[in-house]
Amino acid sequence: MHISKEKILLNLNSRIFSRQFHLFEEVSSTQDILRSLIVSGSPEGTIVISETQTQGRGRLDREWVSPEGGLWFSTALIPPFGPEIAPQITLLAAFSIVQAVSDIADIAASIKWPNDIFINGKKVAGIIGEMSSHQVAIKYITLGIGINVNILLENLPPCATSLSYETQREIPLEELLSSFLNHLDDSYSAFKVSKDLSPFMDSIRNLLLYKNETVEISTAQGMVQGTILDIHTDGRLIMKIGDKPRMISSGEISQL
Ligand code: BTN
């Protein structure tokens, strides 16, 4: 079954994310195709989707398994801010995925800070934001999203799940994508005014996985244990380490 551009456009209300759509059957990585398009002048909101990827990549240089049945795409963002807001964009994307999954698959998902979406203890989606910046200004961000939609568990890594497995039905990829883009348009537009996550804090806080739990986190200083308390409006994670609250800018959480 091929992804239909017409079906995507049918439910898309976004002005930003309807400017340019590039749909492929197979690419190396939608991130790379999008980057070349931006460099040759494609505007903010350009979308590259592919039914499969041969070299899909995740954070920390990990492979991203991208078989048919998943939603693999990248979009171009040019926020009028400095590079320090990039983590907040990732969280807006995470929030938009949770909203789209709830609207279209009718199932609750959580955000594993900073960039994973989990259902029933397993990863269902991931986000990668790759940025090009010029001193204090962002030139562009290629925001790459992978959602395991209609994929059998045997075709995914052991720690992953898919929406079709969790809901026991096939989920329309096109509706999921339009819903995500509509939500991202709403939150990105609000973010450009607020310049931080304050309008979304209540929602994001409620979706935070492992809140009030003691976890292990890899930081630049090595592995530390602590309790997840909250998210700051600038996107950093607030943890209690020892008896002090500490702000974490980047890292990878694992359950104890
Ligand atoms: C992660 O969880 O580490 C991020 C995964 C991001 C995967 C998506 S799939 C579409 C886009 N193209 C890529 O090569 N990666 C992202």
Terminal-to-terminal C-alpha distance of the chain: 41
- Structure confidence at residue 27 as a pLDDT band (50, 70, 90): very high
For the CA of 126, the closest atom of ligand 1 is 2
d(CA 41, CA 29): 19
Hey, which of 55, 57, 61, 112 would you mutate to test ligand 1's pocket, going by the most ligand atoms within 8 Å of its Cβ? 57
Global pTM reads 0.97
The pLDDT of residue 135 is 84
Among candidates 83, 82, 91, 22, which has minimal Cα distance to 50? 22
If you average pLDDT over residues 163-171, what whole number do you get? 98
If you average pLDDT over residues 183-189, what whole number do you get? 98
- Write down the residue that tokens 């079954």 correspond to: 1
For the CA of 116, the closest atom of ligand 1 is 2
**Residue range 108-117, pLDDT digits in tens:** 999 999 999 9
- Structure confidence at residue 219 as a pLDDT band (50, 70, 90): confident
Distance from residue 177's CA to the centre of ligand 1 (Å): 15
3-state helix, strand, coil in the chain (%, to 5): 35, 35, 35
Q: Which residues line ligand 1 (CB under 6 A)?
A: 29-31, 53, 56-59, 62, 64, 66, 72-74, 115-116, 126-128, 144-146
Angle between helices 86-105 and 173-194 (to 10 degrees): 140
Handedness of CA 101, 150, 171, 43 (dihedral sign): positive
For the CA of 28, the closest atom of ligand 1 is 14
d(CA 29, CA 226): 36
If you average pLDDT over residues 29-36, what whole number do you get? 98
Distance from residue 248's CA to the centre of ligand 1 (Å): 23
